[in-house]
Amino acid sequence: MRLKAQSATEFLLTYSWAIIIMLVFVAALYYLGVVGVAQPLQRSCTFPAGLGCSSFKLMKNATAITVVISGNNGLGYDIGFDSNASNLAAENLGGIGMQNYTGTCSPSLVRGGDKYTCIFNISEMERVPAIGAMESMDLTLAYRNCETDPGYLVSGNCRTALVQNRTITGRLVTQMEQYVYFNTSGNGACDDNLGETAADPDCAPYVETVALNADPSFLYANASNSSNIYAWVYDQNATGLGGASCTFGANGSILTISPPATRTTNASGYANVTGFAGTTPGTVLLNVTCGNATKSVTAWRYLRILNLTG
Ligand SMILES: [Ca+2]
């Protein structure tokens, strides 16, 4: 009996190191993912409610890894993006261990419901997952909430000091694919942050706002008073739009507009006609419709014609 116990103890002493080494080896295999069940990762791109992420890709070629996501702004307000302001955090994707990479989201102004695209280019190539490998990463998009400036809805300027910066973080899980050339031209958004210029069809200027004015804003019914009736036409970038066609009109016949009623805006976005008072006093509702091939906008304003005798 004593002999048996002794041999058992000897056995343990002799082989305990081997057992420990074996356990460590098996643990290491699990840790490295050599054995064990495959992780049930599903392709997904999820941001907190508001920012859609309807399409996404992780791609590689010989020189870079590229991550592209795009979706629609469902935040309920207009937002703005800056170049190189967004962040991608991932482990062993490009660099060794956990790394952060900078990316650019576009356009610089994304109206509610409009499309946005973010691109991250990773040029570190020390850890490059194989084609088909599922990778997960955290994306933190920095944006301006345009409407934190109470004046934004009037000015359309999302770059004032009052506009506050925000971030939104989402998670992307997708498999590595071979790089295919893609561009954002033709996606319907003018991706200025990604290099699209006015020459790109997405960026073709269109009439966004029209301001109609009359100077002076009232006339006397003396059959000779006149007013300069003019329109300022602005494109989607709040820049004066030349070459737009503006047709001026007035309700009733107490004001006569000098023909032709249709004028073309000059390079600054300005077009005008002259309105002549007759001998009848009253209030005239002026209108102008300005447009180009893409879009037309109508504006109105009142002009009063006063009785000479007051
Ligand atoms: Ca575009």
Domain residue spans of the chain: 44-202, 207-306
Model pTM greater than 0.75? no
Evaluate whether 285 touches 275 at the Cβ level (below 8 Å): no
Q: How many whole angstroms from 107 Cα to the centroid of ligand 1?
A: 8
Q: Say what the pLDDT of residue 21 is.
A: 62
Backbone angles phi, psi at 235, to 5 degrees: -90, -175
Instruction: Judge if the upstream peptide bond of residue 107 is cis by omega within 30 degrees of 0.
Output: yes
CA dist 51 and 70 (Å) reads 10
CA dist 82 and 158 (Å) reads 11
Q: How many whole angstroms from 88 Cα to the centroid of ligand 1?
A: 22
Q: How many whole angstroms from 116 Cα to the centroid of ligand 1?
A: 9
Evaluate whether 52 touches 129 at the Cβ level (below 8 Å): no
Fold of 44-202: Immunoglobulin-like (2.60.40)
67's CB contacts (< 8 A; 6+ apart) are 56, 57, 58, 59, 88, 103, 119, 120, 122, 137, 139, 172
Evaluate whether 72 touches 160 at the Cβ level (below 8 Å): no
Nearest to 236 by CA among 124, 109, 144: 109
Q: How many whole angstroms from 194 Cα to the centroid of ligand 1?
A: 8
Q: How many whole angstroms from 46 Cα to the centroid of ligand 1?
A: 23
Q: Say what the pLDDT of residue 183 is.
A: 84
For residue 38, give the DSSP letter: P
Nearest to 229 by CA among 245, 244, 242, 247: 247
232's CB contacts (< 8 A; 6+ apart) are 210, 211, 213, 240, 269, 270
Q: Say what the pLDDT of residue 295 is.
A: 87
Is the domain spanning 207-306 CATH 3.40.50.300? The answer is no
Q: How many whole angstroms from 37 Cα to the centroid of ligand 1?
A: 42
Q: How many whole angstroms from 203 Cα to the centroid of ligand 1?
A: 7
Evaluate whether 269 touches 233 at the Cβ level (below 8 Å): yes
Q: How many whole angstroms from 179 Cα to the centroid of ligand 1?
A: 20
CA distances from 295 to 63, 147, 245 (A): 43, 25, 11
Residue 178 pairs with which residues in a beta bridge?
60
Nearest to 218 by CA among 157, 277, 138: 277
Q: How many whole angstroms from 117 Cα to the centroid of ligand 1?
A: 9
Q: Say what the pLDDT of residue 143 is.
A: 97
Q: Say what the pLDDT of residue 29 is.
A: 52
Q: How many whole angstroms from 284 Cα to the centroid of ligand 1?
A: 43
3-state secondary structure of 101: strand
Q: H-helix or E-strand containing 282?
A: strand 282-291
CA dist 72 and 88 (Å) reads 19
**207-306: same fold as 44-202?**
yes
Q: How many whole angstroms from 249 Cα to the centroid of ligand 1?
A: 36
Q: Tens place of pLDDT for every residue, the chain, 310 residues?
A: 555 556 656 655 566 666 556 666 555 555 555 555 555 689 999 999 889 999 999 999 999 999 999 999 999 999 999 999 999 999 999 999 999 999 999 999 999 999 999 999 999 999 999 999 999 999 999 999 999 999 999 888 999 999 999 999 999 999 999 999 888 998 989 999 999 998 898 998 899 999 999 999 999 999 999 999 999 999 987 899 999 999 999 998 899 999 999 999 999 999 999 999 999 999 999 999 999 987 899 999 999 999 986 5
Backbone angles phi, psi at 11, to 5 degrees: -60, -45
